[in-house]
Amino acid sequence: MSALGAAANRPRDPLILVDASDREAGFLSKEECHQGTGRLHRAFSVFLFNRRGELLLQQRSAAKPLWPLFWSNTCCSHPRQGETVEAAARRRLAEELALTAELRFLYKFEYRAEYQQIGTEHELCWVFAGITDGEPRADAAEIAAWRYVAPAALTADMAARPEQYTPWLRLEWPQITALYLPGLAAQELQGRQPTLK
């Protein structure tokens, strides 16, 4: 594995195993969590929007073992032992994109997705959203490219080319558009910091 791959993947990092009710059930390395049919572990997804209402997307690094070069939401990762999920989300935003933002918890859900018989994501995923005015500075070990996209354009492109997007984004985006975007649009028109339902 290249130095880039080692930096991006960190296969020995311990992840938090959970049950279907998100109760902690021990720890297992990142590599082992993603082998075979996967072991259920705690994770998070962040959706950051700019003041124009556009979503910041990232293209995953080619060094990622699962879904390399697929487009995904702003940031996805895992909390460390003893770390709250929101603190982990803030940490990874800073590490991957050099961004800070006030985050709001939306919901959490369990999903499983397999990638080309290489590995599996089986996550209890916490979903957050927020607003940023910052300019991303992407960590090349994690992110190949990034772009802002209007929600309607993303919805249309995901319908036309779903194979270019990560499975968790395809699951989360319909919920985000239903639960978050209407409130965002209304609050932004009134010039206030948006709140989430």
- Enter the DSSP assignment of 79: P
Other CB atoms closer than 10 Å to residue 15's CB: what's the count? 25
Q: Is 10 left (phi over 0), alpha (psi -120 to 50) or beta?
A: left
123 an active-site residue? yes
Do residues 101 and 86 lie in contact, with contact meaning Cβ atoms separated by under 8 Å? Answer: no
76 an active-site residue? yes
**Active-site pick, 33, 75, 96, 123:** 123
- Enter the DSSP assignment of 40: -
**Active-site pick, 33, 75, 76, 125:** 76
Locate the DSSP E strands across 32-94: 41-49, 55-60, 71-72, 75-77
- Rounded-to-integer distance, Cα 114 and Cα 34, Å: 9
Give catalytic residues, as residue numbers: 76, 123
